[in-house]
Chain A
């Protein structure tokens, strides 16, 4: 009994191991179904908007490449350009292209094509080809130019006759503006063929529609609101989150950012209970923000206070003879934003300030939600300052002290009150393999492969 049973057991074990290892081994093929809230009307990198930055960036990266790219640490990596150098005190830059790269229509990527693409996106730049190099000349020293070229808007695209093509790992098979995008993998992609054959992306789908589609097994990747991520995880849904890549902050309008309201702004900043906002409203899905940039990006954000200090808020409030009742605007389409705004209004009332929430666009201060557009902190801070209407930070040495000083100066101006940093999160089907979310929230789709559906 034992003699006859052991070989059978061994044989069956070997068979199971072979089947299992085959199922876990990356393989090519399959169609990945993705649903998203964004509904872009254009796939041109030049049209990318700041409001849908992360989602649009992830889409663009499937079809387009940049000259250089940033890794999770914000370090530069070669992409279409294999090397680069700066001259004249970072005013003149030369980028040498990777050989043999072609656009999706088969035409080669030339220095002229790259220069034309960059000129389209950056009309103020002086871009031209010089031999085998693409030369960019700026009016002033631009030490972060190479990092800036890693932004999605600087993706290299070929625009001909209303059609646009890129050099990315996927090519456009079908484009129904704002509704659907079908991409197919390029076999001749310079970085190697993606495992997936096709990606079908449903656009303009609400979170509820995405959840239903996901529950029905029609979609394998959907977006999850940060405050829902924890709950989804408790319901045995596989959730992948990025590092905090969005900032929720209060920005003062023209009427409320004058110097006479500095103390009132200080009272408001001290009265906000960021911890409760994060733990209750965001269900622990974010991080209280004392700085504009998240700690993972700078390493010093913890030095900026985030804790509620109602006593000090009231003390400062007592020093103000007359306060002005402000209005707080928020995004009507975002239910979480409303709760946050209401909570801030309640917190402000505790400190003796009148703060009425409103959906009007002419509010005294606004609750904004901004993406960090780059893993390079200097680029990210500059872009944030631009988006918030703050003075542009100045970097001299590129050191961390320099960055801290620049950010601290922005915060000391008291024209913005950081509230929370938020990650982006996706729910994944069990068939999606090798999804390792980057910290900056970018998709790792070229590495992803699909397991066969269980019978």
Chain B
């Protein structure tokens, strides 16, 4: 994995996106929290209103039952029954269906006529129960208001809202117990707000039994989920609110408020369960989440746009500066950056431009100074080089003149010697001049595919004979050639001359003998060839000036050899360097690129030139 450092633009983008994300998340969280709190408050209020409405409905139904029971108590049929009871000669037969008929006419679910002994005379809910005692009624507990009471029916016990009236026409009173059953019809009569529903648990046994839980639509579904709430009420007898999960989907959740309902003897007879759906809240929460997600997405997109714009405004000058700096580093010292603002970035750009201008001026000055120094050096070198042959020439000519004047007899002999000396010195002068001429006329490299190992071997072979001469100092020549050298595109003749120069220098550096090593190696796309000696070595100052033209540390050197080497290597796009310490020899290292792209261009241009020539 290649790790690439984030650009300033990407950092800016990430920062913007993070800020938007954090902001939207924070806002969404705040809104969701506020919504939940508001919903909970509204839910509490709705539940309270529903409970209040239940109590109102409970009371209203109670009053209704009271009114109906009073109406029955005042009826002729009841009076007739009361008279029969007071006479004590009661025949149940005529009254068998009395309670049922009256209950139907008064729309009461439950109605019983009971005498003072608690004996049922007529029962609407269980006509066959005549003559039996009403186990859940005591004449001593007659109340003016309606109350909750358990009633045994043939198909099981039930709860009802009852009212009792006493009709006394003699010594033996008649009691009228009428009621409205609390069942699904009662629940469906409750007008609850949307999203709320009521359930009722008839506490007719011990513990929880699903069959006693009813809803407005009939038997309640998944009654076991409500069991813990009912059991809690059975134990604690106080109102409680619980969140019930009906399914894995949160929208089905309901908050259930359970209210205990007791009878006249404070016995827990029923539990009213007001369920409030969490669906509106869950849907609102989901809506907030989706909106927040949408806003975050839009925000991030906006951040991208903003960062792009900001980059154009902020990072572009920096990028231009960076690019300009790279160009300066590459040697283009006259690089300038546009100054587009007057802020800190503008000042920075202005300073950069000032810096490059100063650098350029310094460079010109240095070049000029160096050029002057070079001319001076050239002049000195030329003077020095030319002075050496000229002095013998002068002495020879003066000797000839003196010999002609003082020893004419020997003049011929002296003339012959002097003429040969003059010719030799003139030859030296010509040699000196041809060297300078050669350096000034350094040719362009003609590239072709070569192997550095072949080049090294050729050079070594060239100097092998010289080194093995009997009178020559003992110098061992070693070849350390890498096996996996890649071919490169180079001018073999120029490289041969450059490498030969280095070998000559190495030989010159070992007057007492030593070891000369030619070494090649490959590193990525770069090929290396090194020339090492075990000679006297170079000082750091010598190393710094070594490739300066006309600089030489040798008594008879022209100072053009290494300059020529550097020129050749530079023309091949490579570099030459030296590593040396005094007394420990020196190593010259040539680094060459493969140059195949140049080779192709040269081939194409060569072909084009050939074609042009043919056409011409």
Residues of B within 8 A of A343 (CB): 128
**Bound: A137/B129 CA distance, A:** 55
Closest to B126 in A: A342
- Asked if A280 and B92 sit within 8 Å, CB to CB, the answer is yes
Q: Which of A279, A280, A345 has the most CB of B within 10 A?
A: A280
Residues of A within 8 A of B91 (CB): 279-280
Distance from B484 Cβ to chain A, minimum over Cβ atoms (Å): 99
**Bound: A357/B92 CA distance, A:** 22
Distance from B94 Cβ to chain A, minimum over Cβ atoms (Å): 8
A281 interface residue (CB < 8 Å to B): yes
B113 interface residue (CB < 8 Å to A): no
Q: Which of A291-344 contact B (CB under 8 A)?
A: 339-343
Residues of B within 8 A of A283 (CB): 93-94, 96
B132 interface residue (CB < 8 Å to A): yes
Residues of B within 8 A of A339 (CB): 96, 127-128
- Asked if A280 and B93 sit within 8 Å, CB to CB, the answer is yes
Q: Which of B126, B127, B131 has the most CB of A within 10 A?
A: B127
A276 interface residue (CB < 8 Å to B): yes
Distance from B206 Cβ to chain A, minimum over Cβ atoms (Å): 19
Residues of B within 8 A of A281 (CB): 96, 128
Closest to A344 in B: B128
- Asked if A342 and B128 sit within 8 Å, CB to CB, the answer is yes
Q: A279-B91, A345-B154 are in contact. Are A340 and B128 (CB under 8 A)?
A: yes
Residues of B within 8 A of A357 (CB): 154
B130 interface residue (CB < 8 Å to A): yes
Closest to A358 in B: B155
Closest to A277 in B: B128
A79 interface residue (CB < 8 Å to B): no
**Bound: A345/B130 CA distance, A:** 13
Residues of A within 8 A of B128 (CB): 281, 339-343, 345-346
Distance from B90 Cβ to chain A, minimum over Cβ atoms (Å): 11
- Asked if A276 and B154 sit within 8 Å, CB to CB, the answer is no
**Bound: A116/B262 CA distance, A:** 76
**Bound: A359/B154 CA distance, A:** 12
Q: A345-B154, A346-B132 are in contact. Are A280 and B126 (CB under 8 A)?
A: no
**Bound: A280/B95 CA distance, A:** 8
Q: Which of A250-301 contact B (CB under 8 A)?
A: 276, 279-281, 283-284
A343-360 vs B, Cβ < 8 Å mask (1 yes, 0 no): 101100000000001000
Interface residues on B, range: 10 to 19
Q: Which of B94, B126, B131 contacts A276 (CB 8 A)?
A: B131
Q: Which of A366-409 contact B (CB under 8 A)?
A: none
Q: Which of B93, B130, B131 contacts A284 (CB 8 A)?
A: B93
Q: Which of A340, A342, A345 has the most CB of B within 10 A?
A: A342
- Asked if A279 and B93 sit within 8 Å, CB to CB, the answer is yes
Q: Which of B76-103 contact A (CB under 8 A)?
A: 91-94, 96
Q: Which of B347-370 contact A (CB under 8 A)?
A: none
A115-148 vs B, Cβ < 8 Å mask (1 yes, 0 no): 0000000000000000000000000000000000
**Bound: A345/B131 CA distance, A:** 14
Residues of B within 8 A of A284 (CB): 93
**Bound: A118/B377 CA distance, A:** 162
Q: Which of A283, A284, A340, A341 has the most CB of B within 10 A?
A: A283
**Bound: A357/B129 CA distance, A:** 14
Q: Which of B138-176 contact A (CB under 8 A)?
A: 154
Q: Which of B93, B94, B131, B154 contacts A342 (CB 8 A)?
A: B154
Residues of B within 8 A of A342 (CB): 126-129, 154
**Bound: A20/B126 CA distance, A:** 52
**Bound: A171/B129 CA distance, A:** 50
Residues of A within 8 A of B131 (CB): 276, 280
Residues of B within 8 A of A340 (CB): 128
- Asked if A346 and B93 sit within 8 Å, CB to CB, the answer is no
B323-360 vs A, Cβ < 8 Å mask (1 yes, 0 no): 00000000000000000000000000000000000000
Residues of B within 8 A of A276 (CB): 92, 130-131
Distance from B36 Cβ to chain A, minimum over Cβ atoms (Å): 51
**Bound: A357/B91 CA distance, A:** 26
- Asked if B129 and A280 sit within 8 Å, CB to CB, the answer is no
Q: Which of B94, B129, B154 has the most CB of A within 10 A?
A: B154
Distance from A343 Cβ to chain B, minimum over Cβ atoms (Å): 4
Residues of B within 8 A of A341 (CB): 128
Distance from B114 Cβ to chain A, minimum over Cβ atoms (Å): 16
**Bound: A340/B131 CA distance, A:** 14
**Bound: A343/B128 CA distance, A:** 5
**Bound: A281/B128 CA distance, A:** 8
Residues of A within 8 A of B93 (CB): 279-280, 283-284
**Bound: A279/B94 CA distance, A:** 9
Residues of A within 8 A of B129 (CB): 342, 346
A90-129 vs B, Cβ < 8 Å mask (1 yes, 0 no): 0000000000000000000000000000000000000000
- Asked if B132 and A280 sit within 8 Å, CB to CB, the answer is no
Distance from B162 Cβ to chain A, minimum over Cβ atoms (Å): 21
Closest to B127 in A: A339
**Bound: A389/B209 CA distance, A:** 40
Distance from A342 Cβ to chain B, minimum over Cβ atoms (Å): 3
**Bound: A218/B96 CA distance, A:** 30
**Bound: A343/B91 CA distance, A:** 16
Distance from A350 Cβ to chain B, minimum over Cβ atoms (Å): 9
**Bound: A343/B123 CA distance, A:** 12
Q: Which of B93, B94, B128, B129 has the most CB of A within 10 A?
A: B128
Residues of A within 8 A of B154 (CB): 342, 345, 357
**Bound: A61/B101 CA distance, A:** 39
**Bound: A283/B93 CA distance, A:** 5
Q: Which of B282-315 contact A (CB under 8 A)?
A: none
**Bound: A335/B129 CA distance, A:** 15
Closest to A347 in B: B128
Residues of A within 8 A of B127 (CB): 339, 342
Distance from B156 Cβ to chain A, minimum over Cβ atoms (Å): 10
Closest to B130 in A: A280
**Bound: A97/B154 CA distance, A:** 58
Residues of A within 8 A of B94 (CB): 283
Closest to A357 in B: B154
Q: Which of B93, B130, B154 has the most CB of A within 10 A?
A: B93
Residues of B within 8 A of A279 (CB): 91-93
**Bound: A342/B124 CA distance, A:** 13
Residues of A within 8 A of B96 (CB): 280-281, 283, 339
Closest to B132 in A: A346
Q: Which of B100-127 contact A (CB under 8 A)?
A: 126-127
Distance from A151 Cβ to chain B, minimum over Cβ atoms (Å): 36
**Bound: A281/B100 CA distance, A:** 13
Distance from A173 Cβ to chain B, minimum over Cβ atoms (Å): 40
Distance from B129 Cβ to chain A, minimum over Cβ atoms (Å): 6
**Bound: A196/B126 CA distance, A:** 46
**Bound: A136/B128 CA distance, A:** 51
Distance from A279 Cβ to chain B, minimum over Cβ atoms (Å): 5
B23-40 vs A, Cβ < 8 Å mask (1 yes, 0 no): 000000000000000000
Distance from A354 Cβ to chain B, minimum over Cβ atoms (Å): 13
Closest to B96 in A: A280
Distance from A308 Cβ to chain B, minimum over Cβ atoms (Å): 11
**Bound: A343/B130 CA distance, A:** 9
Given A279-B91, A280-B92, A284-B93, 20 more A-B residue pairs with CB atoms under 8 Å apart are: A276-B92, A276-B130, A276-B131, A279-B92, A279-B93, A280-B93, A280-B96, A280-B130, A281-B128, A283-B96, A339-B96, A339-B128, A340-B128, A342-B126, A342-B127, A342-B128, A342-B154, A343-B128, A345-B128, A345-B154
A-B contact pairs, 26 of them (CB 8 A): A276-B130, A279-B91, A279-B92, A279-B93, A280-B92, A280-B93, A280-B96, A280-B130, A280-B131, A281-B96, A281-B128, A283-B93, A283-B94, A283-B96, A284-B93, A339-B127, A339-B128, A341-B128, A342-B127, A342-B154, A343-B128, A345-B128, A346-B128, A346-B129, A346-B132, A357-B154
Shortest 6 CB-CB distances between A and B: which pairs? A342-B128, A343-B128, A280-B92, A280-B93, A339-B128, A339-B127
Interface residues of B (CB under 8 A from A): 91-94, 96, 126-132, 154
